[in-house]
Structure 1
Amino acid sequence: MSKSEIRLRCWITLEQQKFFGPGRVELLNWVEKEGSVSKAAKKMGMSYKKAWDMIHDLNTRGQQPFVTLRKGGRKGGGAEITTSGKQFLNKYAQLLQKLQTVIEEESEILRLL
Protein backbone atom coordinates (compact mmCIF):
# COMPACT_ATOMS: atom_id res chain seq x y z
CA MET A 1 0.00 0.00 0.00
CA SER A 2 1.45 3.38 -0.98
CA LYS A 3 1.43 6.35 1.35
CA SER A 4 -0.49 9.37 0.13
CA GLU A 5 0.12 12.93 1.18
CA ILE A 6 -0.76 16.46 0.24
CA ARG A 7 2.31 18.54 -0.55
CA LEU A 8 2.48 22.27 -1.04
CA ARG A 9 5.22 24.65 -2.12
CA CYS A 10 4.47 28.29 -1.49
CA TRP A 11 5.96 31.03 -3.66
CA ILE A 12 5.35 34.75 -3.41
CA THR A 13 5.42 36.56 -6.73
CA LEU A 14 5.97 40.21 -7.56
CA GLU A 15 4.91 41.49 -10.96
CA GLN A 16 4.19 37.91 -12.09
CA GLN A 17 7.76 36.75 -11.32
CA LYS A 18 8.82 34.49 -8.49
CA PHE A 19 10.21 36.53 -5.64
CA PHE A 20 10.30 34.45 -2.47
CA GLY A 21 10.02 30.78 -1.68
CA PRO A 22 11.73 27.75 -0.15
CA GLY A 23 15.13 28.22 -1.82
CA ARG A 24 15.45 31.80 -0.71
CA VAL A 25 14.34 30.89 2.80
CA GLU A 26 17.11 28.31 2.94
CA LEU A 27 19.66 30.79 1.55
CA LEU A 28 18.72 33.47 4.08
CA ASN A 29 18.86 30.96 6.93
CA TRP A 30 22.36 29.91 5.87
CA VAL A 31 23.46 33.54 5.52
CA GLU A 32 22.19 34.13 9.06
CA LYS A 33 24.11 31.10 10.39
CA GLU A 34 27.32 31.62 8.42
CA GLY A 35 27.47 35.41 8.20
CA SER A 36 28.55 35.08 4.58
CA VAL A 37 26.92 34.71 1.18
CA SER A 38 29.79 32.59 -0.14
CA LYS A 39 29.64 30.19 2.83
CA ALA A 40 25.85 30.00 2.53
CA ALA A 41 26.14 29.21 -1.18
CA LYS A 42 28.68 26.49 -0.45
CA LYS A 43 26.39 24.91 2.17
CA MET A 44 23.60 24.82 -0.43
CA GLY A 45 25.80 23.51 -3.22
CA MET A 46 25.16 26.54 -5.42
CA SER A 47 27.49 29.01 -7.05
CA TYR A 48 28.34 32.24 -5.27
CA LYS A 49 27.00 34.15 -8.30
CA LYS A 50 23.61 32.47 -8.10
CA ALA A 51 23.37 33.15 -4.35
CA TRP A 52 24.47 36.75 -4.84
CA ASP A 53 21.93 37.21 -7.66
CA MET A 54 19.16 35.89 -5.38
CA ILE A 55 20.17 38.27 -2.57
CA HIS A 56 20.44 41.17 -5.02
CA ASP A 57 16.94 40.39 -6.32
CA LEU A 58 15.53 40.32 -2.77
CA ASN A 59 17.29 43.57 -1.89
CA THR A 60 16.25 45.47 -5.01
CA ARG A 61 12.71 44.23 -5.62
CA GLY A 62 11.63 44.12 -1.99
CA GLN A 63 10.42 47.24 -0.21
CA GLN A 64 13.45 47.08 2.08
CA PRO A 65 16.76 45.20 1.83
CA PHE A 66 16.80 41.66 3.19
CA VAL A 67 20.58 41.41 3.59
CA THR A 68 23.34 43.91 4.28
CA LEU A 69 26.72 43.11 2.75
CA ARG A 70 30.12 44.21 4.00
CA LYS A 71 32.98 44.35 1.53
CA GLY A 72 36.13 42.39 2.26
CA GLY A 73 39.06 44.00 3.96
CA ARG A 74 41.48 43.09 6.71
CA LYS A 75 38.73 41.27 8.60
CA GLY A 76 37.06 39.98 5.44
CA GLY A 77 33.56 40.67 4.16
CA GLY A 78 30.32 39.40 5.50
CA ALA A 79 26.57 39.44 5.29
CA GLU A 80 23.78 39.93 7.78
CA ILE A 81 20.02 39.56 7.57
CA THR A 82 18.31 42.90 8.17
CA THR A 83 15.57 43.42 10.73
CA SER A 84 13.01 43.69 7.94
CA GLY A 85 14.44 40.52 6.36
CA LYS A 86 14.01 38.67 9.65
CA GLN A 87 10.45 39.99 9.98
CA PHE A 88 9.64 38.79 6.47
CA LEU A 89 11.11 35.34 7.20
CA ASN A 90 8.98 35.13 10.35
CA LYS A 91 5.80 36.18 8.53
CA TYR A 92 6.52 33.66 5.75
CA ALA A 93 7.04 30.91 8.35
CA GLN A 94 3.69 31.86 9.95
CA LEU A 95 2.03 31.65 6.54
CA LEU A 96 3.52 28.20 5.93
CA GLN A 97 2.26 27.04 9.33
CA LYS A 98 -1.25 28.24 8.53
CA LEU A 99 -1.15 26.46 5.17
CA GLN A 100 0.09 23.28 6.87
CA THR A 101 -2.81 23.48 9.31
CA VAL A 102 -5.26 23.68 6.41
CA ILE A 103 -3.58 20.70 4.74
CA GLU A 104 -3.86 18.67 7.93
CA GLU A 105 -7.50 19.66 8.38
CA GLU A 106 -8.31 18.67 4.80
CA SER A 107 -6.26 15.48 4.70
CA GLU A 108 -9.43 13.38 4.86
CA ILE A 109 -9.54 13.68 1.07
CA LEU A 110 -6.69 11.15 0.98
CA ARG A 111 -9.04 8.48 2.30
CA LEU A 112 -11.01 8.75 -0.93
CA LEU A 113 -8.04 7.54 -2.98
Structure 2
Amino acid sequence: MSDEFPKIRLRIVLAPGVAFGPGKADLLQGIAETGSLSAAGKRLKMSYKRAWSLISDLNSQFAEPVVETEKGGSGGGGGSRLTPFGERLLVTFRSIETSLETGAAADLSALTGMVKPVLAEAERSA
Protein backbone atom coordinates (compact mmCIF):
# COMPACT_ATOMS: atom_id res chain seq x y z
CA MET A 1 0.00 0.00 0.00
CA SER A 2 1.16 3.54 -0.66
CA ASP A 3 1.53 6.45 1.74
CA GLU A 4 -1.05 8.43 -0.25
CA PHE A 5 -4.34 9.46 1.26
CA PRO A 6 -7.00 8.36 1.64
CA LYS A 7 -6.06 4.82 2.51
CA ILE A 8 -7.70 1.92 4.27
CA ARG A 9 -5.81 -0.06 6.91
CA LEU A 10 -7.45 -3.47 6.96
CA ARG A 11 -7.29 -5.71 10.02
CA ILE A 12 -9.21 -8.97 9.77
CA VAL A 13 -10.20 -10.79 12.96
CA LEU A 14 -10.50 -14.42 11.87
CA ALA A 15 -11.29 -15.96 15.26
CA PRO A 16 -11.00 -14.93 18.90
CA GLY A 17 -7.36 -13.93 19.36
CA VAL A 18 -6.51 -14.47 15.69
CA ALA A 19 -6.08 -11.31 13.62
CA PHE A 20 -4.20 -10.52 10.43
CA GLY A 21 -3.51 -7.01 9.26
CA PRO A 22 -1.01 -4.73 7.58
CA GLY A 23 1.76 -5.16 10.16
CA LYS A 24 1.89 -8.93 9.82
CA ALA A 25 1.43 -8.69 6.05
CA ASP A 26 4.32 -6.22 5.78
CA LEU A 27 6.48 -8.52 7.93
CA LEU A 28 5.71 -11.47 5.63
CA GLN A 29 6.43 -9.27 2.59
CA GLY A 30 9.77 -8.29 4.11
CA ILE A 31 10.70 -11.92 4.77
CA ALA A 32 9.77 -12.83 1.19
CA GLU A 33 11.94 -10.00 -0.15
CA THR A 34 14.97 -10.35 2.15
CA GLY A 35 15.01 -14.00 3.19
CA SER A 36 15.61 -12.80 6.73
CA LEU A 37 13.34 -12.33 9.72
CA SER A 38 15.85 -9.92 11.24
CA ALA A 39 16.10 -7.77 8.10
CA ALA A 40 12.32 -7.76 7.65
CA GLY A 41 11.87 -6.62 11.24
CA LYS A 42 14.49 -3.88 10.86
CA ARG A 43 12.68 -2.56 7.78
CA LEU A 44 9.60 -2.11 9.93
CA LYS A 45 11.56 -0.69 12.89
CA MET A 46 10.53 -3.79 14.84
CA SER A 47 12.74 -5.66 17.29
CA TYR A 48 13.81 -9.17 16.39
CA LYS A 49 11.95 -10.42 19.47
CA ARG A 50 8.70 -8.78 18.31
CA ALA A 51 9.10 -10.08 14.74
CA TRP A 52 9.83 -13.59 16.03
CA SER A 53 6.80 -13.41 18.34
CA LEU A 54 4.49 -12.42 15.47
CA ILE A 55 5.77 -15.22 13.24
CA SER A 56 5.48 -17.73 16.08
CA ASP A 57 1.87 -16.64 16.59
CA LEU A 58 1.09 -16.93 12.88
CA ASN A 59 2.65 -20.39 12.66
CA SER A 60 0.60 -21.61 15.62
CA GLN A 61 -2.71 -19.97 14.64
CA PHE A 62 -3.03 -21.02 11.01
CA ALA A 63 -3.73 -24.48 9.60
CA GLU A 64 -0.20 -24.74 8.21
CA PRO A 65 3.12 -23.03 8.97
CA VAL A 66 3.44 -19.58 7.39
CA VAL A 67 7.22 -19.11 7.72
CA GLU A 68 10.09 -21.60 7.85
CA THR A 69 13.36 -20.64 9.51
CA GLU A 70 16.84 -22.13 9.32
CA LYS A 71 19.14 -21.69 12.26
CA GLY A 72 22.53 -20.27 11.34
CA GLY A 73 25.81 -21.62 12.62
CA SER A 74 28.51 -19.72 14.49
CA GLY A 75 29.18 -17.68 11.36
CA GLY A 76 25.52 -16.88 10.75
CA GLY A 77 23.88 -18.09 7.58
CA GLY A 78 20.39 -18.78 8.89
CA GLY A 79 17.39 -17.52 7.03
CA SER A 80 13.64 -17.39 6.80
CA ARG A 81 11.23 -17.94 3.97
CA LEU A 82 7.52 -18.03 3.43
CA THR A 83 6.02 -21.45 2.98
CA PRO A 84 3.70 -21.92 -0.01
CA PHE A 85 0.85 -21.51 2.52
CA GLY A 86 2.40 -18.25 3.76
CA GLU A 87 2.69 -17.00 0.18
CA ARG A 88 -1.02 -17.75 -0.38
CA LEU A 89 -1.93 -16.00 2.87
CA LEU A 90 -0.06 -12.86 1.84
CA VAL A 91 -1.43 -12.84 -1.72
CA THR A 92 -4.98 -13.35 -0.43
CA PHE A 93 -4.67 -10.51 2.08
CA ARG A 94 -3.21 -8.13 -0.53
CA SER A 95 -6.03 -9.08 -2.90
CA ILE A 96 -8.63 -8.23 -0.25
CA GLU A 97 -6.89 -4.87 0.36
CA THR A 98 -6.96 -4.06 -3.35
CA SER A 99 -10.60 -5.11 -3.73
CA LEU A 100 -11.61 -3.02 -0.74
CA GLU A 101 -9.75 0.06 -1.98
CA THR A 102 -11.22 -0.29 -5.47
CA GLY A 103 -14.74 -0.94 -4.24
CA ALA A 104 -14.66 1.92 -1.76
CA ALA A 105 -13.01 4.52 -4.04
CA ALA A 106 -16.12 6.71 -4.46
CA ASP A 107 -16.94 6.61 -0.76
CA LEU A 108 -13.32 7.37 0.14
CA SER A 109 -13.40 10.36 -2.17
CA ALA A 110 -16.57 11.58 -0.45
CA LEU A 111 -14.98 11.15 2.98
CA THR A 112 -11.86 12.99 1.87
CA GLY A 113 -14.06 15.91 0.87
CA MET A 114 -15.28 16.09 4.47
CA VAL A 115 -11.79 16.74 5.89
CA LYS A 116 -10.81 20.35 6.61
CA PRO A 117 -8.87 21.59 3.57
CA VAL A 118 -5.86 22.67 5.67
CA LEU A 119 -5.50 19.18 7.17
CA ALA A 120 -5.94 17.43 3.84
CA GLU A 121 -3.31 19.67 2.20
CA ALA A 122 -0.85 19.14 5.07
CA GLU A 123 -1.12 15.37 4.64
CA ARG A 124 -0.50 15.66 0.90
CA SER A 125 2.61 17.78 1.51
CA ALA A 126 4.07 15.42 4.14
What TM-score do you get using the length of structure 2 for normalisation?
A: 0.75
In the aligned structure 2, how far is the partner of 1:50 from the partner of 1:64? Answer: 21
Q: AA paired with 1:29?
A: Q
Residue 66 of structure 2: aligned partner: 66
- In the alignment of these two chains, the number of paired residues is 109
Residue 27 of structure 1: aligned partner: 27
The alignment's C-alpha RMSD in Å is 2.1
Cα–Cα, structure 1 residues 57 and 37, in superposed 2: closer, same or farther, change >3 Å? Answer: same
Q: AA paired with 2:110?
A: I
In the aligned structure 1, how far is the partner of 2:33 from the partner of 2:113? Answer: 43
In the aligned structure 1, how far is the partner of 2:113 from the partner of 2:80? Answer: 49
Residue 15 of structure 2: aligned partner: 15
Cα–Cα, structure 1 residues 8 and 76, in superposed 2: closer, same or farther, change >3 Å? Answer: same
**How far apart are 1:26 and its partner, in Å?**
0.9
Cα–Cα, structure 1 residues 104 and 19, in superposed 2: closer, same or farther, change >3 Å? Answer: same
Question: What secondary structure is seen at the aligned counterpart in 1 of 2:10?
Answer: coil
Question: Percent identity, aligned pairs only?
Answer: 35
Residue 122 of structure 2: aligned partner: none
Contact kept, 8 Å, 1:19 with 1:58, in 2: the verdict is no
Residue 38 of structure 2: aligned partner: 38
In the aligned structure 1, how far is the partner of 2:109 from the partner of 2:36? Answer: 44
5+ residue gaps in structure 1? none
In the aligned structure 1, how far is the partner of 2:108 from the partner of 2:25? Answer: 26
Residue 93 of structure 2: aligned partner: 92
Residue 102 of structure 2: aligned partner: 101
**How far apart are 1:18 and its partner, in Å?**
4.8
Residue deviations 1:10-63, cap 9 Å, x none? 112233335211011111111111111111111211110000000001100011
